[in-house]
Structure 1
Amino acid sequence: MDLGLKDKVVLITGPAKGMGSAVSLAFAREGARLVLVGRDLAAIEPVATEARALGVDAIVLACDITRGEQVATMTRHALEHFGRVDVLVNVAGGSGPIGKTGWETTQDEFEQIVQLNMTGCFNTMQAVLPGMIERRSGKVVNVGGTFGMRGRAGRMAYSASKWGLRGITKSFALEAGPHGINVNCVAPGMVDGPRFREKVCANMAQKLGISVEEAMERHAQDYALRRVSTDQDVANACLFLASDVSRQITGVDLPVDGGWAML
């Protein structure tokens, strides 16, 4: 199926590794032109190089998305290069403290993850939406998480930030919808990769006295499909919500979790 993303200008935050890299290259394979945004340019450049090898234009821009003035400058540079932004995909985010109760979480830990996972997305949406509204066309895909749909003990700060992002997404969807703009949220469950294995599974393994591999299997058993999601699963969901195949879908949370949030 042709998703109609060829030559679309897609701005992606957090593209350096994991889900961000997979999402970026998925759009490149569809022929989209890329604006890859993050703080560590050296980490992003290999992704841009791989995208260019697929025959698409990809630029790399430095930006701390929690800083509104940096986001405004970055967006201006993107518009100077491409003339417009058709799709915004907010992948950048953090996990916050793992294994801490709410009362053990420090104020700094709480504020940092809320700033990254909520304020960062707010800043980028606020920057690109005026241009989309002017053209009466655009797609926004925020990457949330299923802990923002069911909550999770030991992950209060992260869960709170992703619940908040859902509210931001739904409110923006209502406001931007009359201008022809879709705003949705992809909600990954556990996604296989270094952070999942080295932080989440390692934390469980230490607490229960089991191996990391056994911890991974315990997580998989929580899901209807009995498997942990991959970066590509998340990337495919982002492609769907960024395309006109999903033109009549807005303000939704799309879990990519093998059937955990719905259980």
Structure 2
Amino acid sequence: MNLDLKDKVVVITGPAKGMGRAVTLAFAREGAHLVLAGRDTAAIDDVAAELNAMNTEVLVVSCDITRSEQAERLAKETLARFDRIDVLVNVAGGSGPIGKTGWETTQAEFDDIVQLNMTGCFNTMRAVMPAMIERCAGKIVNVGGTFGMRGRAGRMAYSASKWGLRGITKSFALEAGSYGINVNCVAPGMVDGPRFRDKVCANMADKLGISPEEAAIRHAEDYALKRVSTDNDIANACLFLASDVARQITGVDLPVDGGWALL
């Protein structure tokens, strides 16, 4: 299937590693022009080098998405280089405290993750919207999480931030629909990688006195398909929602979780 993403201008936040890197490379393989945004541009160097080897046109922008003025500068630099913004993919985010109850979570921990996972996405969405409205076209894909659909004990702050992102996504979708702009949310479950192995599995292993590998297996058993998602699973969902194949889909949460949110 041709997703017709060649030469589209795609802004990606959090592109350096994990899901962000997979999303970045997936769009590059489709022939898109890429704008990669992150606080630490040095961390983006490796993926930028891969893109250069693929002959992908790429712009790297230093941007703290929790700062509205920096998100606005990101949009301005993109427009100065490419004259339009076709797609925004908000991957940047954090996990917040793991294994803490709501009453053990500090206000600082709660504020930090809400600021990153909610306010950060709001800032970038708000910044690119005028350019998309002017052209009456655009796709926004936010990477949320299934803990923002069902909740999760020990992950209250993260869950709250992803529930909030769903509300932002749906409201923007309703407001921007008349301008031909689609706004959707990909909701990963557990995604295999360093964060999953070193934090989530390690936390379960410590609590239950089992190995991290046994913890990973226990997580997989929670899912209908009995397997944990990969970065590429998330990337493929982002490609779909950023393409005109999904032209009639907006305001949705798309779980990519092997069947956990439905259980």
Pair in the same fold by TM > 0.5: yes
* Residue type at the aligned position of 2:83: G
Q: Which amino acid aligns with 2:182?
A: N
Secondary structure, aligned partner of 1:56: coil
> How far apart in 2 are the matches of 1:234 and 1:54?
21
Identity, % of aligned positions:
79
Q: Which residue of 1 aligns with 2:11?
A: 11
Corresponding residue for residue 132 of structure 1 = 132
Shift of 1:157: 0.2
AA in 2 matched with 1:177: G
Aligned to 1:221: 221
Matched residue type, 1:29? R
Q: Is the 8 A contact 1:205 1:211 kept in 2?
A: yes
Task: Report the equivalent of 1:74.
Answer: 74
Cα distance in 2, alignment partners of residues 73 and 244 from structure 1: 28
Q: Which residue of 2 aligns with 1:111?
A: 111
How far apart are 1:73 and its partner, in Å? 1.3
Unaligned runs of 5+ in 1: none
1:122-152 Cα deviation digits (max 9, x unpaired) = 0000000111011000000000000000000
CA drift of 1:79 comes to 0.9
- Cα distance between partner residues in 1 of 2:82 and 2:145: 31
Residue type of the alignment partner of 1:7: D
Q: Deviations over 1:40-92 (max 9, x none)?
A: 11111211121122121011100000000111112111111111110000000
1:255 aligns with 2:252: no
Q: What's the CA shift string for 1:141-170, capped at 9, x where partnerless?
A: 000000000000000000000000000000
The amino acid across from 2:42 in the alignment is A
Quote the residue 2:186 is aligned against.
186
Aligned-residue offset at 1:38: 0.2
Q: Which amino acid aligns with 1:88?
A: L
Counterpart in the other structure of 1:230:
230
Work out the CA distance in 2 between the residues paired with 1:162 and 1:245. 26
4+ residue stretches of structure 1 with deviation over 4 A? none
RMSD: 0.5
Q: Show CA shifts across 1:169-213 (max 9, x none).
A: 000000000000000000000000000000000000000000000
How far apart, in 2, do the equivalents of 1:98 and 1:145 lie?
A: 15
Contact map agreement 1:31 1:55 (CA 8 A) in 2? no
**Matched residue, 1:148:** 148
**Aligned letter for 2:197?**
R
Alignment TM-score, normalising by the size of structure 1 = 0.99
**What CA distance in whole angstroms lies between the structure 1 residues aligned with 2:14 and 2:208?**
32
SS of the residue 1:145 aligns to: coil
Which structure 2 segments of 5+ residues have no match?
Answer: none
Q: Distance in 2 between matches of 1:141 and 1:24?
A: 13
Distance 2:52 2:232 in 1: 19
